[in-house]
Structure 1
Amino acid sequence: MSGLGMFGGTTIKYRNPTYTRDHGSLTLTWTDEWKTLGGCDLQEPTTGTDTKNREGTLSQYTLYMPSGSPVADNAQVRVDGQELQVDGMVLRIPDPLGILPYCKATLKAWKG
């Protein structure tokens, strides 16, 4: 990331969740509106893929975003036509030198 907020050459589309009550429990819902964020970098899974109960395959990617990214916890992210979801929290990581702060999130995708 430079002082201009550029970290990578990937542009993503995202939509942040809202929490609604469904029969007394909080559930995540997303609007139909996708927003755009540039300057990101998406890293492929480093550990390959996992199968869970042989019903599908879980792939996990790492997404690096500019500091101050508006992408929220549990957001849905669309990259190159593939729809992924932030797995839990978006981490906001300060640079110890104060030069290169960034945001990091794990994205997951199920197939099968």
Structure 2
Amino acid sequence: MNGLGIFGGTTVKYRNPILVPDHGGQAIAWPGQWQEQEGCDIQAPATATASDNRNGTLSQYAIYMPSDTQIGDNARILYAGQELQIDGMVLRVADPLGLLDYATATLKAWKG
């Protein structure tokens, strides 16, 4: 966690994906044990409606984390009672002033 104590006050639980054998290839799976990451900030979602073969709502949150986070690409995040998934990669951002480097990602949840 960052030493400044100003980054974020939210603690999230997460599971990083692992690769498992699947019919001669590999597939992504998430182990059963949740780990915790302190010092996060999650911003309100943007929502959209999609009707590709079904109707539903896609919510997208932005998560900001300490730069040394162990949360990885495509991780599952447990936040406010719902399980969200990182959409793609965790990006590491260097603060141009050198004060507070951070990591960020987009979280998504589909309902419908």
TM-score (norm. length: structure 2):
0.89
Deviates more, 1:31-40 or 1:5-14: 5-14
Deviations 1:14-67 (A, max 9, x none): 010001231233311011100011110001124x32324243211111000011
Matching residue of 2:48: 49
Matching residue of 1:18: 18
Partner SS, residue 37 of structure 2: strand
After the TM superposition, which residues 26-105 of structure 1 pair with which residues of structure 2 at under 5 Å, given as runs? 26-46=26-46, 48-53=47-52, 54-105=54-105
How many residues align? The count is 111
Letter in 1 for 2:91: L
Counterpart contact for 2:13–2:37, Cα < 8 Å:
yes
Distance in 1 separating the partners of 2:24 and 2:6: 42
Instruction: Call closer, same or farther: CA 1:78–1:25 in 2, change over 3 Å.
Output: same
Identity of aligned residues (%): 57
Q: What value does the CA root-mean-square deviation take over the aligned residues?
A: 1.8
Counterpart contact for 2:8–2:40, Cα < 8 Å:
yes
Letter in 2 for 1:84: L
Instruction: Call closer, same or farther: CA 1:76–1:93 in 2, change over 3 Å.
Output: same
Distance in 2 separating the partners of 1:81 and 1:75: 16
Q: In structure 2, list runs of 5 or more residues that go unmatched.
A: none
Partner SS, residue 27 of structure 2: strand
